[in-house]
Amino acid sequence: APGRDLAGSNSNSLANLGWNKGMHRKSNLHTDYKGKHYEQCGYDTKGKQKPSHSVSVRRPFPLSHGTTTLGFIFQGGVIAAADTRASAGGLVACPAVHKITPIHSHLVVTSSGSGADCMLWERILTREIRLYQLRHKRRLSIRGTAKLLSLMLHPFKGTDVCVALTLCGWDKLIYVCSDGARLQGDIFSVGSGSPYAYGVLDRSLSWSLHKEEAILLAREAVFRATHRDAYSGNNVDLFHVTAEGWRQRQREDLKEEYYRDMEKRGIFNRNITVWSL
């Protein structure tokens, strides 16, 4: 309306819309950087970096994941086994990942947790073990390796880093978690399918198992877990670690184990072709 002053009642409306009296757009860049954006980038409101090793970024939705890995000791060495399914919530992200990684000739590591975190820390561990060997002209022991990994992971306790590694040497089995926990034992199973795998292992595992019996037991434990756990499945990888080094078995499709189990029960026969109209 004529006669109304911009410096009067309309000035408040302009200010609320982000304009000044000269009809120039106000800039909130400085305010944003001192506030929200500083915090998201790991800085406080004064522009100083926060004393944190990892910047946590809120995910737009919860991303659950699962797996089945196991390892146990018997009179013939150590058996390590795992499925090959990588899951992201209800999605099968990859059906053929490698969850057992050789670190050196006498040590393999089973991994569970976030796929990216596990791959990163396995590479870091491999590098540190190699550097130790070059400096000291000898290989770091399994206990020393577990202690080193635990010390490296401990500063990330309370962050979103999710790593659970089982170190399988030829005579030792040590579990290391991303909060720095370090446990030694004769049998470990980690992941969403571990309760089912433990049920099979606790029933049949003994020190006096022969090599083929131990391999069959590990394969059956992974199969039973993947049969009940939706986050595990596809194939089974299996390593046998002895004083001579590790040896990998050929990857096997778990559906073959399923068919063998059904035939054993007399429920299914693959040699019979069923025709349907």
Environment class of 87 (CB within 10 Å of its CB; exposed 0-12, middle 13-18, buried 19+): buried
- For the record, the structure tokens of 188 come out as 């470990």
Would strands 252-253 and 69-74 be described as parallel, antiparallel, or unpaired?
unpaired
Q: Are 57 and 40 in contact (CB under 8 A)?
A: yes
Phi-psi map region of 77: left, alpha, beta (phi>0 left; psi -120 to 50 alpha): left
Give tens-digit pLDDT for 146-160: 999 999 999 999 888
Q: What's the rounded mean pLDDT across residues 209-234?
A: 93
pLDDT score at 50: 52
pLDDT score at 34: 41
Domain segments of the chain as ranges: 9-40, 69-265
Instruction: Count CB neighbours of 56 within 10 A.
Output: 12
Give tens-digit pLDDT for 126-152: 999 999 999 999 999 999 999 999 999
Question: Is 143 strand, coil or helix?
Answer: helix
| Residue from 45, 67, 68, 242 carrying the catalytic annotation | 67
Catalytic residue flag (residue 67): yes
Q: pLDDT grade, residue 172 (50/70/90)?
A: very high
What is the rounded distance in angstroms from the CA atom of residue 44 to the CA atom of residue 34? 8
- Identity (one letter) of the amino acid at 127? R
Which one-letter DSSP state was computed for residue 174? E
- For the record, the structure tokens of 247 come out as 């040896």
The CATH code belonging to domain 69-265 is 3.60.20.10
